[in-house]
Amino acid sequence: MNYFSEAIAWILDPANASGPSGVWARCWEHLWYTLLAVVLACVIAIPLGYLVGHTRRGRGLVVVSSGAARALPTLGVVTLVGLVLGIGLVAPMVALVLLAVPSVLAGAYAGIEAIDRRTVDAARAMGMSEWEVLTRVEIPLGLPLLLGGVRSATLQVIATATLAAYVGAGGLGRFLFLGLKTQDYPQMLASALLVVAIALLMEGVFEISERAAARRLHTA
């Protein structure tokens, strides 16, 4: 595992750490791309998921279309959108949001769907309006599954955000492509390790928030 230690050494080398194309800057960019993509995906998918989950309508359509979205080859999408909109952050962002939407959507509607019908009916019997049923019963109860969906979407986006560098944007993909094309394997592996490190960090954040959500659910 010679190149493995070389990769670690590359990451720890102070010469690579700072500056606009240093390790820290690229990590931030990567994290920023990831958060932006996931937040955008949530803005699109959560209301839609809640609508489907609450009304129990259009589920088939959502399943089929999110299945199809999952099957979209990301590299193909990045290049196609890039051809239309030019290089920069827009094309990879479109692809990343498309990548993240199915998981978030599934988490949002599955969270509501998994709730026992009787619980929801009881809430209605208590005189809650549909809006109250959604916001005070379904959304809190569905939170753990939603978080699970957002979590897997985030992981996928972190790994795939390397493609941003393919069309002139930043992120850890810059090291990946440069290392790979100049046969600088330590640099290339270093970028993969940093990607996994960011994933680990986000996993930690989700683990904590999922536990918090579960705790709230039990004490509520």
Partner 1 sequence: MKIRIAAALAAGVLALSACSSSNPLGSASAQPSGSTSAAGGGTLVVGSQQYYSNEIIAELYAQALEAKGFTIDRQYQIGQREVYLPELQAGTIDVFPEYAGNLLQYLDKDSTAKTGEEVIAALPAALGDTLRPLTAAAATDQDSYNVTNEFATTNGLTSIADLAKLNRTVKVCANSELEKRPYGPPGLKSTYGLDVEVIPVEDSGGPLTVKALKDGKCDTADIYSADPSIVANDLTTLTDPQSLILPQNVVPIVSTKVDDAAAAVIDKVSAALSTEELVALNALSVDKQQSSAQIAKDWLTAKGLLS
Partner 2 sequence: MGWVLANLELIGSRTVSHLLLALPAIALSFVLALPLGWFAATRRWSRATLLTAAGLLYAIPSLPLFVVLPTIFGFGVRDALNVIVALTLYGLALMVRSAADALDSVGRPVRLSSTALGYSTFSRFWQVELPLAGPVLLAGLRVVAVSTISLVTVSSLLGVDNLGLLFVDGFQRGILAEVLTGIIATVLLAVAVDGLLVLLGRLLMPWAKAAGR
Residues forming the site for partner 1 (CB under 8 A): 2-3, 6, 75, 79, 82-83, 86-88, 165-168, 174, 176-183, 185-186, 188-189
Q: How far is CA 100 from the centre of its chain?
A: 5
Q: Which is nearer to partner 2, 100 or 195 (CB)?
A: 195
Q: How many CB atoms lie within 10 A of CB 83?
A: 11
Asked whether position 67 contacts partner 2 by CB under 8 A, the answer is yes
Element (H, E) at 126: none
Asked whether 50 and 112 are in contact (CB, 8 A), the reply is yes
Q: Which is nearer to partner 2, 26 or 151 (CB)?
A: 151
Alpha-carbon span 176 to 199, nearest angstrom: 16
112: enclosing H helix or E strand: helix 90-113
Check binding of 151 to partner 2 (CB under 8 A): yes
37 binds partner 2 (CB under 8 A): no
Nearer to partner 1, 84 or 125 (CB): 84
Q: Applying CB under 8 A, does 208 fall inside the site for partner 2?
A: no
110 is a site residue for partner 2 (CB under 8 A): yes
Using CB distances below 5 to 8 A depending on partner kind, what does residue 96 bind out of partner 2, partner 1, none? Answer: none
HSE-up of residue 47 (Cα within 13 Å, Cβ side): 4
79 binds partner 2 (CB under 8 A): yes
Report the candidate in 183, 184, 187, 174 with the shortest Cα–Cα distance to residue 9: 187
What is the rounded distance in angstroms from the CA atom of residue 5 to the CA atom of residue 59? 49
Site residues (vs partner 2, CB under 8 A): 63-64, 67-68, 70-77, 79-80, 106, 110, 113, 151-152, 155-156, 158-160, 162, 176, 180, 188-189, 192, 195-196, 199-200, 203, 207
